[in-house]
Structure 1
Amino acid sequence: MFEQLTQLAQQFGIDAVVKNDAIPNEQNEAVINEASSSIVTGLQKIVSEGNVSQLAELFQGNNAQDKSNPVVQKLTEQLTGNLGEKFGLNSAAASGVAASLIPQILNSLVGKAKDPNDSSFEISDIIAAISGNGDSAGIMDTISKYGGQFGLDQNADGKVDMNDAMEALKKNSGGFGDTLGSLFGK
């Protein structure tokens, strides 16, 4: 997933980074890479703080470019701080780069994750990348908590668990990935 995020950062970084006089040309690649890694670590931090419902809302809605979205705000703040700390950018330059890159990258990421015809970002890959060391228990707890609202309770027992995953596997040849995908609107 990191490679795909880096590609998105490179795509959107032309105006925000490469054409930005505040960033020395020799730092362009490092700044773009920092944007990618900040998104991954920021999403991991959101999960570790128990705010998985914010991620579910991000992937469920069409608000990934909304600068008032809590996930967009947190990731923008984190990247702004990192750019100032690691590259010595003043706060206005760092904030400008982050405010430009984060919403564009997230919007593209969410769009690709929700698009059934685009396999470059799969929900299962995103969950694995942000859950840290493959421990997706926190995400699965949230899926269980909110899953009924999104139609994931396959056996109508009032909770979303592995039994629902097995039911989904029986019903759907796409498997558990599609079940998770339905949580995020894919």
Structure 2
Amino acid sequence: MFEQLTQLVQQYGGDAVVNNTAIPNEHNEAVISETSTSIFAGLQKIVSEGGGEQLAGLFSGTSSIDSSNPVVQQLTQQVSGNLGEKFGLSSDASSGVAASMIPQILSSLVNKAKDPNDSSFQISDIISAISGNSGQASGIMDTISKYGMQFGLDQNNDGKVDISDAMALGKSGGLGGLLGKLFGK
């Protein structure tokens, strides 16, 4: 999981880090590495502090992945603080890096985890990795399933929301088809 997260940070680190004049070029690789470590540690901290429902909302798609999201806010603060402390970046520079990368990385992570054709990220693997394989993982997965059930995502009516439902949703018109059903169109 950490390796995949690092790949996403590298993917989105071009403008925020490499092309950023506030970050000396000799620190680019270390800043990207620290960003990955800080995001992973931040996700673990959210779980350990009882924020499983926030993460479930993130992965189930019931909450937006922008600066108003509490998970995005907490990760942005953590990454910004760590970059400022470890690399002597100004508050503006470190918060700018974090604010531009965190929503992109989380959006990509969630989209990849939901994509039935992308086996590199599985929601259950992500949750297990950040919860340390504790009992919290099953609670988060239960919450994701509960939200999915409320929004009619149990496409095969087996009482749970899983990858087979995502595949069926894709065949039935995807999110547009689901919204059409919800609004009677």
Asked if the contact 2:149/2:161 (under 8 Å) is kept, the reply is no
Instruction: List per-residue Cα deviations over 1:118-165 (Å, max 9, x = no partner).
Output: 111111220121012x22x1232344467445349xxxxxxxxxxxxx
In structure 2, distance between residues paired with 1:94 and 1:87: 9
Asked if the contact 2:145/2:161 (under 8 Å) is kept, the reply is no
**Closer, same or farther: CA 6–64 of 1 in aligned 2, 3 Å:** farther
Asked if the contact 2:38/2:78 (under 8 Å) is kept, the reply is yes
3-state DSSP class of the match of 2:162?
Answer: helix
**Closer, same or farther: CA 129–15 of 1 in aligned 2, 3 Å:** same
In structure 1, distance between residues paired with 2:110 and 2:142: 21
Matched residue count: 161
Kindly state the Cα deviation for residue 109 of structure 1 after the two structures are TM-superposed. 0.3
Instruction: Give the aligned partner of residue 53 of structure 1.
Output: 53
Instruction: Give the aligned partner of residue 37 of structure 1.
Output: 37
**Closer, same or farther: CA 146–95 of 1 in aligned 2, 3 Å:** closer
> TM-score, normalising length from structure 2?
0.77
Asked if the contact 1:52/1:138 (under 8 Å) is kept, the reply is yes
Runs of 4+ that moved beyond 6 A: none
In structure 2, distance between residues paired with 1:6 and 1:26: 18
**Closer, same or farther: CA 27–62 of 1 in aligned 2, 3 Å:** farther
Instruction: Give the aligned partner of residue 178 of structure 1.
Output: 162
> TM-score, normalising length from structure 1?
0.77
Identity of aligned residues (%): 62
Instruction: Give the aligned partner of residue 119 of structure 1.
Output: 119
In structure 2, distance between residues paired with 1:75 and 1:2: 15
**What are the equivalent positions in structure 2 for 1:33-182 lying under 5 Å apart?**
33-61=33-61, 63=63, 65-132=65-132, 134-135=133-134, 137-144=135-142, 147-151=145-149, 178=162
- AA of the residue aligned to 1:59: F
CA RMSD of aligned residues (A): 2.8
3-state DSSP class of the match of 1:46?
Answer: helix
3-state DSSP class of the match of 2:22?
Answer: coil
Asked if the contact 1:16/1:97 (under 8 Å) is kept, the reply is yes
Asked if the contact 1:64/1:103 (under 8 Å) is kept, the reply is no
| Ranges in structure 1 where 5+ consecutive residues have no aligned partner | 153-167
In structure 1, distance between residues paired with 2:143 and 2:58: 16
3-state DSSP class of the match of 1:120?
Answer: coil
